Amino acid sequence: MQSVQAEVFIEADEDLVYKVVRDLESYPEFMPLVHEVRILSKNPEETRIEYEWVAQVPILGIKERSLQEVRYKHETKSAHFWQKEGRLSHLEGYRTIQSVPGGTMIRTQVYFKLGSPFQFSLGKGLIQSLFQQNTQATLDSIKKRCESLSSKETL
């Protein structure tokens, strides 16, 4: 199993960051590679959400569809997500949001295992690099969105 991790400091309140992270359906508005997110089910407390998303994989020139589930712990502002259906034989991750002096730190750890012979032919190093870039790009997009919203709130 391979893993990647990324973190980013955001000049915004942790409640705003948590709100943006949980608003899955808005991801296509501010994440360039995400084309669609559709909520399939969620419980009333919104601690469990099942969703489908379509994202571009630029190096392969394809759109990837994945069915995933996420469980949120509101008290710790954290999430555990995993793939239920998709090309990878295993995908799961954790995201934490923590208040720090001057803003919020968001961290993501993703664990994955390749699933198809095509993925194996790309090589472990390339796949590792793609996951690292995607994980960092996701956090960078969340940062940009949160800081944009935060600056509007202070005007």
**Tally of domains in the chain:** 1
Residue type, 124: K
The domain that holds 137 is classified in CATH as 3.30.530.20
Q: What is the pLDDT of residues 28-55, one digit of tens each?
A: 999 888 999 999 999 988 899 999 988 8
Cα pseudo-dihedral 46, 26, 111, 135, rounded to 10: -150
Show the low-confidence residues of the chain (pLDDT under 70). Answer: 59-60, 116-124, 152-155
Give CA angle at 38 (35, 42), nearest 5°: 150
pTM (2 d.p.)? 0.86
Residue 102: how many other CB atoms lie within 10 Å: 8
Question: In terms of residue numbers, what domain contains 12?
Answer: 2-154
Spatial separation of the C-alpha atoms in residues 43 and 27, rounded to whole Å: 20
